[in-house]
Every structure is written in structure tokens, then in C-alpha cells.
Amino acid sequence: MAKPTPRKKGETGSASAPYLLDHERFVREGPQRRFIEPRLLYLIKRGPSYGYQLTEDIGTLPFPGPAPDSAAVYRTLRELERSGLVVSRWEHGEAGPSRRIYSITSMGEERLKAWVEAFRERAKLLEAFVAMCERVGKSGG
């Protein structure tokens, strides 16, 4: 596999190569920050939503560690919008404050597909490693 090209600060990868494949960045960021992007893209693909609801929903997804805090969610939403992966519009409610509603773009859908493929590749590697460990345990060396 070719060595990933370095990214500038704030750059979140391309639609074809989410940073899960960028090992240095993957290691540098903790588990809480690591998977905010794909979780948000997944939630927004299910249907347009607003920041507070996304902050609540992200904690229901099956990832290790605590759910990301609201600041990290809103920061990532801004990054996703700057990158063209989501768009937002203001919805003015009669009974409450206005909300910024996020929708996924076709580029965001492509990025989510790339994340899924990256997760599949990572899962294959982990399964292969587990199998190797199990074989070593059974053969005694």
C-alpha cells in the first residue's frame, strides 16, 4: 500500500481515502475523535438533522469509548460543511430557536462509502491477526 500523502491541518482526506487509511493521523487522534466523521455522515444520511439531535444520536452508535462532546460534534460538522460533504440550511421554528439542519451531499455519500470500505479492510486485517494469534496459541509457538 502506498504511503498516504501528508495533509494540511484541518484537511479531512478525500472521498476516496478517509483518514482511517492515514495511519499517522489515526494514531495521533484518540478513539473519541477518530470516528466522529463517519458517524455523523451515517446519521445525516439517515435523514437531515440538526446539531443537538446529532449530538444525542451519536452516542447511540456502537463505537468504543464515550460519545464525543458537543464541541467536537459541532467542530466536525463545520469541517464537513467546509469540505462539501454536508450542506446546511436554517429552519425557523415557531415554538423555539432557529436550527441549522444538515443534509448529506453526493460527495458526503461517497466519503461514507469510502469509510465503509476502509472499515471492511481494517476488519479483515484484524480478523487475520486474531486467526494468527489463535493458531500460535494452539500450536504452542
pLDDT band at 1 (very low <50, low <70, confident <90, very high): very low
Distances (CA, A) of 53 to 2, 50, 73: 39, 6, 11
CB 54 within 8 A of CB 43: yes
CB 40 within 8 A of CB 73: yes
Question: Domains of the chain (ranges plus CATH)?
Answer: 17-139 (1.10.10.10)
Asked whether residue 113 carries a pLDDT value surpassing 90, the answer given is: yes
Q: Strands of 39-132 (E only): list them.
A: 49-50, 86-91, 99-104
CB 90 within 8 A of CB 100: yes
Segment 35-57, tens digit of pLDDT? 899 999 999 999 999 999 999 99
Segment 75-103, tens digit of pLDDT? 999 999 999 999 999 999 888 899 999 99
CB 30 within 8 A of CB 49: no
CB 117 within 8 A of CB 38: no
**Which helix or strand (DSSP H or E) is residue 72 part of?**
helix 70-82
